[in-house]
């Protein structure tokens, strides 16, 4: 049986670990994400995120072309999908 958990606290002196297996704790990433240090490269992160979005849009465009829609329908469908993707978390 697999048991999924998240580490809350490590105590190296006592060799103990505090874990949580609540579904809310496993799904929420906001409180448990490590903080970024002063040397974190945010520009590279933004570039990588933009490249991933561009790759997704190209894949959507290819799927739309393969679906046999007219070019006008493709453009309107693509703009709708891009709007949906940009608003998703």
Q: Report domain extents, the chain.
A: 1-33, 43-89
Which of 1-40 are b and which e, b meaning 16 or more Cβ less than 10 Å from the residue's Cβ? eeeeeeeeeeeeeeeeeeeeeeeeeeeeeeeeeeeeeeee
Q: What is the pLDDT along the chain (89 residues), one digit of tens a residue?
A: 888 888 888 988 989 999 888 877 777 665 556 677 888 888 998 999 999 988 888 877 776 666 666 666 666 766 776 776 665 55
């Amino acid at each position: 049986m697999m048991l999924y958990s998240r580490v809350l606290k490590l105590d190296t002196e006592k060799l103990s670990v505090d874990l949580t297996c609540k579904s809310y704790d496993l799904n929420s990433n906001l409180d448990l994400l490590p903080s970024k240090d002063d040397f974190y490269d945010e520009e590279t992160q933004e570039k990588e995120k933009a490249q991933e979005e561009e790759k997704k849009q190209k894949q959507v465009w290819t799927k739309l072309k393969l679906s046999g829609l007219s070019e006008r329908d493709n453009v309107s469908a693509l703009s709708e999908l891009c709007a949906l993707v940009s608003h998703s978390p």
